[in-house]
C-alpha cells in the first residue's frame, strides 16, 4: 500500500502580494467550480486550503457523498 501525503493543497505567495492555492501533486493553481483559486487575501486562502485538504482527506477515506 502506498502511503499518500495527507494534504494535497498548499498556500502559494504570488509576486503581486496575493495568495493562491496550489495543488502540490501537479504544481498548478487549484480550481473550485472551474475558478482558479488565486489573487486571494491571506486569511481567505488559509481557510480555503484547510477546507480543501479536509475534503481531500475525507474523499480518500470514502466519507464524502
Q: What cell was used for 58?
A: 475525507
Assign 3-class secondary structure to the chain: CCCCCCCCEEEEECCCCCEEEEECCCCCECEECCEECCCECHHHHHHHHHHHHHHHHHHHHCCCC
Please tell me the predicted confidence (pLDDT) of residue 4: 58
What pLDDT score does 8 carry? 96
- Write down the pLDDT at residue 53: 96
At residue 2, the pLDDT reads 56
Query: Could you read off the pLDDT tens digit of each residue along the chain, which spans 65 residues?
Result: 455 568 999 999 999 999 999 999 999 999 999 999 999 999 999 999 999 999 999 988 886 55
pLDDT number for residue 62: 81
Amino acid at each position: 500500500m502506498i502511503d499518500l501525503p495527507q494534504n494535497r493543497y498548499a498556500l502559494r505567495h504570488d509576486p503581486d502580494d496575493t495568495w493562491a492555492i496550489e495543488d502540490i501533486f501537479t504544481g498548478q493553481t487549484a480550481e473550485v467550480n472551474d475558478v482558479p483559486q488565486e489573487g486571494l487575501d491571506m486569511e481567505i486562502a488559509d481557510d480555503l486550503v484547510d477546507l480543501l485538504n479536509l475534503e481531500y482527506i475525507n474523499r480518500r477515506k470514502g466519507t464524502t457523498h
